[in-house]
């Protein structure tokens, strides 16, 4: 159950206005930390630019991207892309110490930028890098950070960022506002926000910034990069089709039926948490509140009850097909198509039908 931020906002409910300290009133604009690694900007950065654009339009403010990287990294090219996704300007910091992510220099870089240019709101992806950076930047700046948001709005009374996120194990949604500190920070997981349309002709300003880094003052050294072979192969968050299995598959042998259908459809395999806990699949395949958020064109849920903690990770799929032998299973409350039946007989039949149809 969710109310609108305006209904929930404490300031709005009590009629009380929390006055922003005078020195923080100068903070303006919505920033997005643009995460990139080995030549690719993480797609969550573009998703966040879409949200930032809506927030900034409500506030009558500008959207800025922040790009930090080594001297040879194509940050200006990334900035051009950012303009297409809604940024008005990009702050660009090139420095040898920013080649490859390390918490210390990135925290210093981002906090220095904030202190110099004073954004009102700052958004980061809830990725491994974004979570690490957001926490240290928020504590350094002594401001508020709401992690893993599912919705971002502007509270009409206080004009503060109203950041909504699940709480109490996912059974409630709460809206959190940072009323007396700036910037207001939030992280959002990949695929939670929809991808904005790219306007290739849109342009913006690049603001090059120098920050005096000293390699000798940074204790962490980047010696080598060793890719994680298993997690690189699993691209659940951005898969177009996902066949997902739950505890209703009964055992690891039956779970093979999920793989069979996925192979025929060219789909990724997902799972509910009990399946991961039972060791039938890798943790990277878990969908839900403590797993991945996915937004595929098609999500086939087999033997999954549809508990709220699973639902929050997959309900944005364009089409949800549920296979469950219990007609009262909660998943049928939000699935677009339902098959009431034994997954162990329905799955082989579907796999065979698709195999002959697609052959």
Give the binding range for ligand FAD (CB under 6 A) out of 60-68, 70-78, 100-108, 338-346. Answer: 338-346
Q: Which of 134, 30, 133 is nearest to 82 (CA)?
A: 30
Size of the site for ligand FAD (CB under 6 A): 30
Per-residue string for binding with ligand FAD, 133-152, x by CB under 6 A?
--------------------
Contact (Cβ atoms closer than 8 angstroms) between residue 262 and residue 350: no
Work out whether 291 is an interface residue with ligand FAD (CB under 6 A). yes
Choosing from 111, 136, 140, 325, the residue that interacts with ligand FAD (CB under 6 A) is: 325
Only segment of 4-12, 234-242, 260-268, 285-293 that touches ligand FAD (CB under 6 A): 285-293
Residue 340 near ligand FAD by CB under 6 A: no
| Residue with smaller CB distance to ligand FAD, 98 or 312 | 312
**Footprint on residues 165-184 left by ligand FAD (CB under 6 A):** 169-170
Instruction: State the binding site.
Output: 272-273, 286-290, 303-310, 324
* Alpha-helical runs (H) found in 266-328: 273-277, 308-314
Residue indicated by tokens 């390699």: 215
From the list 284, 324, 335, 350, which residue makes contact with ligand FAD (rule: CB under 6 A)?
324
Candidates 114, 154, 329, 335; binder of ligand FAD (CB under 6 A) is: 329
Task: In angstroms, give the least distance from the CB of 324 to ligand FAD.
Answer: 4
**Which parts of 59-118 interact with ligand FAD (CB under 6 A)?**
none
Eight-state DSSP code of residue 338: E
Q: Which helix (H) or strand (E) holds 322?
A: strand 319-324
Of 109 and 288, the one with the shorter C-beta distance to ligand FAD is 288
**Separation CA 244–CA 235 (nearest Å):** 14
Residue 5 vs 248, nearer CB to ligand FAD: 248
Overall size of the chain counted in residues: 359
Determine which residue in the list 99, 131, 202, 247 makes contact with ligand FAD, applying CB under 6 A.
Answer: 247
Query: 10 Å Cβ neighbour count for 96?
Result: 11
Instruction: For residue 303, state whether it binds ligand FAD (rule: CB under 6 A).
Output: yes
Q: Select 103 or 316, whichever has its Cβ closest to ligand FAD.
A: 316
- Dihedrals phi, psi of 298, to nearest 5 degrees: -140, 130
Q: Residue 317 interacts with ligand FAD (CB under 6 A)?
A: no
Q: Is 305 near ligand FAD (CB under 6 A)? A: yes
Quote the least distance from Cβ 264 to ligand FAD, whole Å.
Answer: 19
Binder among 10, 100, 274, 338 for ligand FAD (CB under 6 A) = 274
Other Cβ atoms within 10 Å of 70 Cβ, number: 13
- What is the spatial distance between Cα 305 and Cα 244, in angstroms, rounded to a whole number? 12
* Max Cα-Cα span within the chain: 69
3-state secondary structure 119-181: CCEEEEECCHHHHHHHHHHHHHHCCCEEEEECEEEECCCCCCEEEEEEEHHHCEEEEECCCCC
Q: How far apart are CA 88 and CA 153, in angstroms?
A: 20
Binding site for ligand FAD (CB under 6 A): 169-170, 246-248, 272-275, 286-291, 303-305, 307, 309-310, 313, 323-326, 329, 342-344
């Amino acid at each position: 159950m969710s109310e609108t931020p305006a209904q929930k906002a404490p300031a709005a409910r009590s009629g009380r206005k929390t006055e922003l300290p005078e020195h923080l009133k100068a903070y303006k604009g919505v920033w997005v930390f643009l995460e990139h690694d080995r030549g690719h900007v993480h797609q969550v950065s573009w998703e966040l630019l879409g949200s930032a654009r809506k927030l900034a339009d409500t506030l009558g403010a500008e959207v800025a991207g922040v790009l930090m990287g080594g001297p040879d990294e194509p940050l200006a090219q990334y900035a051009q892309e950012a303009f297409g996704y809604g940024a008005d300007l990009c702050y660009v910091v090139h420095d040898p110490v920013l080649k490859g992510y390390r918490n210390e220099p990135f925290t210093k870089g981002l906090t220095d930028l904030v202190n110099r240019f004073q954004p009102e709101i700052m958004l980061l992806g809830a990725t491994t890098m974004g979570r690490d950076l957001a926490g240290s930047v928020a504590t350094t700046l002594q401001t508020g950070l709401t992690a893993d948001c599912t919705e971002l709005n502007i509270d009409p009374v206080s004009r503060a960022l109203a950041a909504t996120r699940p709480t109490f194990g996912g059974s409630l949604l709460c809206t959190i506002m940072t009323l007396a500190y700036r910037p207001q920070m939030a992280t959002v997981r990949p695929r939670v926000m929809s991808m904005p349309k790219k306007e290739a002709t849109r342009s913006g300003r690049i603001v090059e910034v120098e920050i005096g880094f000293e390699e000798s003052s940074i204790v962490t050294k980047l010696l080598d990069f060793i890719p994680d072979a298993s997690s690189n192969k699993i691209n659940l968050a951005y898969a177009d089709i996902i066949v997902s299995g739950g505890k209703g598959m009964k055992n690891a042998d039956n779970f093979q039926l999920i793989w069979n259908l996925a192979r025929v459809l060219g789909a990724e395999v997902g799972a509910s948490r009990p399946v991961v806990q039972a060791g039938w699949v890798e943790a990277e395949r878990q969908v839900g509140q403590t797993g991945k958020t996915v937004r595929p064109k098609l999500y086939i849920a087999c033997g999954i009850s549809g508990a709220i903690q699973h639902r929050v990770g997959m309900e944005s799929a364009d089409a949800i097909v549920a296979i469950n032998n219990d007609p009262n299973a909660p998943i049928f409350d939000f699935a677009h198509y339902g098959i009431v039946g034994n997954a162990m007989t329905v799955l082989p039949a579907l796999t065979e039908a698709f195999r002959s149809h697609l052959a």
